[in-house]
Amino acid sequence: MKKILNNPNDYVDEMLQGLIAAHPEYYRLHGDSGKVIARAEPGKSGKVGVISGGGSGHLPVFTGYVGTGLLDACAIGDVFASPSAEQIADTIRAADQGAGVLRLYGNYGGDLMNFDMAGDLVEFEDIKCTTVVLADDVASASFEEREKRRGVAGMVYAFKIAGAAAEAGHNLEAVTKVAQKAADACHSIGVALSSCTVPQAGKPTFDIGEDEMEMGMGIHGEPGVWRGKLRQADEIADEMLDRLLADKPLVSGDRISFMVNSLGATPPEELYILFRNVKKRFEELNVQIVMPLVGRYATSMEMSGASFTLIKLDDELESHLKEPADCAFWKV
C-alpha cells in the first residue's frame, strides 16, 4: 500500500478533521460520534432537511456536498462501510428544522438497513422521514430490474435538485417527489483502469493488468460487464454513451445535463478528451447539454478511470439544477 496516512484506523477521523479545519465556513461536526457533518450555518426554521451518507472514500461524495442548496447533514462511515444507524439518526436530528427530513442515498444493502433503522430510532422523536434511493448504474442490473442497480455519481444531481427544492421552501412531500424524479432521470456507467486500496485492507481491492480496462465496474470495485485490452478514448466514450443511450433513448430537441467524472486518479486532461467526443455525439443527435460537469465529483479512492452520468431534464429539474448552491467542492 502506498498512501499518505498516519494510522489506517484513523484515516476517516483525520480526514474529517482536516476537511473541517480547511472549510469551517461550510462544515462542522455534529454530536459526539465524530462521523456526522452538518452545515456550519443550519438551514432556516421550517425548511425540509436533506441528508445523505455512506462509506468514506468517495469525496466529494458524500460529505463534501453539505452546503447551501445541497445537503443539510451527512453521516460518514469507514472507507466503503456504511455509517451506523445511530450516526444516521444523529444526522437526521441535525437536519431537522421541523418540516421533516429526506434521506437521499445510494442503493447498497448496508446503507438501506441503517437508514431504515435510523428512521425507527427517530420515530419516537416525531421527526417525519422520507426516502429516495439512487440506483443509476446501468451496468449493475438490466433496465427491467433497475431497482437493483447500484447508486453512483447520479446522486450528485439528486443532491443538487433536492437541495434546491428544499431551499425554495417546498414541503417534504414535494421535495421527495422531485428528488425521486431526479433519481429516476439519472443513468450512469463507469470504466476502471486500475484498482483502489482500502486503507484498513492494505492491498488493492482487485487485480487488473497494466494494459487492461474493465467496463461497468462499480465504485467499490464491484465486477463490471467485461474486461479487456485498454482502448482509445473515443472508443471508450462511444461504448459508454451507447450503453447509456440504450438505457435512455433520447430524441432531437431533448435537454440533458452530463457529467464526465474522474474515479480519483484520472486527471482532468483525460476527462476533457472524453468530453470532446461526448459533445460531438450529442450534437449529432441534436440533444442540448445544459451545465456539463467535468471533474472529480464522485470518486473511488485512487482508482483510475471515469464515469459518465446522463440526466434527462424537464423544466422543473433544469430550474432546480441552475439555482444557487455552495459547498467547498462545487458552486452554482
Partner 1 sequence: MSITKATMQAGIKRLAMAMEHDFEMLNTIDGALGDGDLGVTMTRGMRLVAQASDQLPDDLGMALLACAQAFTKSSGSSYGTLMATGLMAMAKEVKGQTSIDISQISPLVALARDAMMKRGKAELGGKTVLDSLDALCQATKGINDPDELAKAAVNSVQQALDDMRDKPATIGRARIFAQKSIGMDDPGMVAMQQIIIALADR
Question: Is there binding between residue 222 and partner 1 (CB under 8 A)?
Answer: yes
Candidate segments 36-44, 78-86, 249-257, 304-312, binder of partner 1 by CB under 8 A: 78-86
Min dist. Cβ of residue 221 to partner 1 (A): 11
- Nearest approach in angstroms of CB 149 to partner 1 is 14
Touching partner 1, residues 134-173 (CB under 8 A)? none
CB neighbour list of residue 236: distance below 8 Å, 6 or more residues apart: 191, 213, 274
CA 240/CA 53 separation, integer angstroms: 27
From the CB of 95, what's the least distance to partner 1, in Å?
A: 18
Surface-to-core class of residue 269, CB atoms within 10 Å of its CB (0-12 exposed, 13-18 middle, 19+ buried): exposed
Q: Among residues 12 and 237, whose Cβ is nearest to partner 1?
A: 12
Q: How far is the CB of 201 from partner 1 (least distance, A)?
A: 8
Number of residues that bind partner 1 (CB under 8 A): 21
Distances 325 to 70, 72, 88, 216, 329 between C-alpha atoms, Å: 6, 12, 23, 30, 11
DSSP-derived pairing of the beta strands 129-134 and 101-106: parallel
DSSP character for 90? H
For residues 306 and 271, is the Cβ–Cβ distance under 8 A?
Answer: yes
Q: Which of 109, 211, 229, 284 binds partner 1 (CB under 8 A)?
A: 109
Q: Which of 86, 238, 239, 316 binds partner 1 (CB under 8 A)?
A: 86
Active-site amino acid positions: 58, 220
Q: Is 234 in the site for partner 1 (CB under 8 A)?
A: no
Q: Which residue's CB is nearer to partner 1, number 87 or number 261?
A: 87
Q: Which is nearer to partner 1, 67 or 199 (CB)?
A: 199
Q: How far is the CB of 222 from partner 1 (least distance, A)?
A: 7
Q: Which of 5, 22, 113, 246 binds partner 1 (CB under 8 A)?
A: 113
Please tell me the distance from the alpha carbon of residue 31 to that of residue 21, in angstroms, as a whole number.
17
120 near partner 1 (CB under 8 A): yes
Distance CA 327, CA 71 (A): 9
> Which of 107, 176 has the CB closer to partner 1?
107
> At 240, which helix (H) or strand (E)?
helix 233-247
Nearer to partner 1, 202 or 249 (CB): 202
Between CA 114 and CA 90 the distance in angstroms is: 12
Q: Is 13 in the site for partner 1 (CB under 8 A)?
A: no
Strands 288-289, 255-262: parallel, antiparallel or unpaired by DSSP? parallel
